[in-house]
A and B are shown apart, each in its own frame.
Chain A
Amino acid sequence: MGSNNRTGEGEGTLLARIEAPTARREFLRWSGTAAAVALLAGCSDDNTRSIVEVQPPPVVPPVDPQNPTNAPGVTLNFANDFGILNFAFALEQLEAAFYTQVVATPYNGITDQERRVMIDLRDHEIIHREFFRAAITALAPAGTLIGNLTPNFTNINFGSRESVLGASQMFEDLGVAAYNGAARFLQSADLLAIAGKIVSVEARHAAAIRDLIRPRSNNYAPDAFDQALPPSRVLAAADPFVQNPITVTNAPAGF
């Protein structure tokens, strides 16, 4: 029948165009109303397909340059100490990922001594990360442990000693300030004792990296009192190095 043939031709042509990638982009550029009318007219006796084809063009979200892989959001719930453990777990993940990359792709001109430092720091941060993973898993209700973060190190030039050591100093000093600043929010003195065992190792790291940057100077300890930063400020500083959007809930006063 003439009308059926025409419908079939129109339908076949349209499907072929939609399935071809270039044609799909062309289709999506059609202005909405006119395209829908044309499709309905062409597919008047095939309800299933017409419903599919009158969908408005899907919105393609722009790629977030800081989250190109669309890493899932992470929520840090500070209602209790597990939030602080997750906070520490997040920071240790970041540090471990950084040194894993540094050791895997050493910067130009790295010395044997510097390589030993980087391997040690990588190992220590992995151990910290795995400790928090195990501790939260053992102690907290199921589902409390946050997932693995996806780092964003695009602003670090791993081929450059200056860039790597600068980032390393930032991570270590930030780690020290983070543990020092989070202590007042802990409800458990036992956890304070654990944090104390880790923060001094981070400070040892910070001093070593700072000495690599400016050997035998006063750079290893820039002040008689280290910083203590509240978690909100630590997260703001760490955020550019994490793809996952981070949301904070139940933050206490002064956080």
Chain B
Amino acid sequence: MENETILAGLDPEVMDEVTSRRGALLGMGRLSAKLALASAPLAVAAMARQAFAQTSLPANIVAVLNFALILEELESEFYTIATGGMAMSGGAVVTTLIPSQDRPIFDTLRDHEQAHVRFLRQTLGSQAVAKPTFDFTAGGAFPDVFTNYATFLTLSQAFEDTGVRAYKGQAPNLFANKDILEAALRIHSVEARHASEVRRLRGNFSEQAPQKGWITGNQSGGAPAAVYAGEENVQQGAPPAPAPGINVATLPAVTGATVTPAVAAATAASEAFDEPLTRAQVVAIVDPFIVEPIS
């Protein structure tokens, strides 16, 4: 998968176009964009090396990465159990939860979350926290999480959308270290891909709210409401503060002839921007699934 280029699926003529013309104006000569893009997917090891180049990570960045690590451990174990790679806490191995037609989706999710855990542990080294003990029933709130596919899907969506919002909330705290910031962003957008896929799967790919790939208002679709608190926001900041935000639902070209009617503009405006969660909000969501409280 790593040599897959972003131009895959396009007409070869388009590829040729990419390699010519105004590349010179960009100081790139006849650099082949295809070549450039093919070389771009970085291996985890290369990213970890970049991160390791930091002689010692500041405490605030270690804290953010350990926070991310706990979330990734949660997701990783969740999918590892669901795909039969690890026994449930009761001792049984899950064998019949995920229909075979959906296995590629969740095998991919499991592999990605495991890769995220490996990357964070490599980056943190000895400063990484131990993996917590998880309780995916959340103290009995979801007793059939690994025996009822619908319950499993609901929690999967909740974990993925929470992950997206958690990374988004922490990104500004990584601003001082560009390599780690970029690595976190590269995970953040993958979590959003996961969320999109699980959401659409839950809606049987009908592409209708509340189970579109994107979040409409603060509709939770049966997941805990806290996961979607604030997602209805349409007032997007015009930094630096205290400049007032921009209401993206009422911009002239948005409420005009193209995006119609006005109700649709408000809906689309909430969907078009994902919102961050604070660390405290994330902890409140995932704490019931962790036997030891997060310190």
Interface residue B6 (Cβ < 8 Å from any Cβ of A): yes
Interface residue A135 (Cβ < 8 Å from any Cβ of B): yes
Residue contacts A-B, CB under 8 angstroms, 15 given: A120-B207, A123-B271, A179-B185, A183-B185, A196-B185, A198-B274, A199-B189, A201-B214, A207-B197, A207-B213, A221-B197, A224-B116, A227-B186, A232-B27, A232-B28
User: Told that A225-B42, A227-B186, A236-B28 touch, could you supply 13 new A-B pairs with CB distance under 8 A?
Assistant: A123-B271, A127-B259, A130-B251, A155-B13, A197-B168, A197-B274, A205-B214, A221-B194, A224-B44, A224-B119, A229-B36, A233-B40, A240-B14
Contact between B186 and A124 (Cβ–Cβ < 8 Å)?
no
Contact between B268 and A127 (Cβ–Cβ < 8 Å)?
yes
Contact between A201 and B37 (Cβ–Cβ < 8 Å)?
no
Interface residue B25 (Cβ < 8 Å from any Cβ of A): yes
Interface residue B237 (Cβ < 8 Å from any Cβ of A): yes
Contact between A180 and B214 (Cβ–Cβ < 8 Å)?
no
Interface residue A113 (Cβ < 8 Å from any Cβ of B): yes
Closest to B205 in A: A113
Contact between B268 and A123 (Cβ–Cβ < 8 Å)?
yes
Contact between A170 and B7 (Cβ–Cβ < 8 Å)?
yes
Contact between A194 and B271 (Cβ–Cβ < 8 Å)?
no
Interface residue A117 (Cβ < 8 Å from any Cβ of B): yes
Interface residues on A, range: 35 or more
Give per-residue flags for B235-268: 1 if the beta carbon is below 8 A from chain A beta carbons, else 0: 0111111010010100111100011000011001
Chain A nearest CB, measured from B228 CB (Å): 14
Interface residues on B, range: 35 or more
A216 to B201, CA, bound (A): 8
Interface residue B23 (Cβ < 8 Å from any Cβ of A): yes
Contacts of A6 in B (CB 8 A): none
| Chain B contact residues, majority secondary structure | helix
Contacts of B265 in A (CB 8 A): 123
Contact between B21 and A240 (Cβ–Cβ < 8 Å)?
yes
Query: Which parts of A155-184 form the interface with B (CB within 8 Å)?
Result: 155-156, 162-163, 165-167, 169-170, 173-174, 176-177, 179-181, 183-184
A220 to B189, CA, bound (A): 12
Contact between A218 and B108 (Cβ–Cβ < 8 Å)?
yes
Contact between A248 and B1 (Cβ–Cβ < 8 Å)?
no
Contacts of B111 in A (CB 8 A): 224
Contacts of A236 in B (CB 8 A): 18, 23, 26, 28, 31, 33, 36
Contact between A124 and B272 (Cβ–Cβ < 8 Å)?
yes
**Known contacts A66-B21, A197-B274, A233-B40; is A170 also within 8 Å of B6 by CB?**
yes
Q: Within the complex, which residue of B9, B26, B44, B104 is in contact with A213, where a contact is CB–CB below 8 Å? A: B9
A222 to B265, CA, bound (A): 32
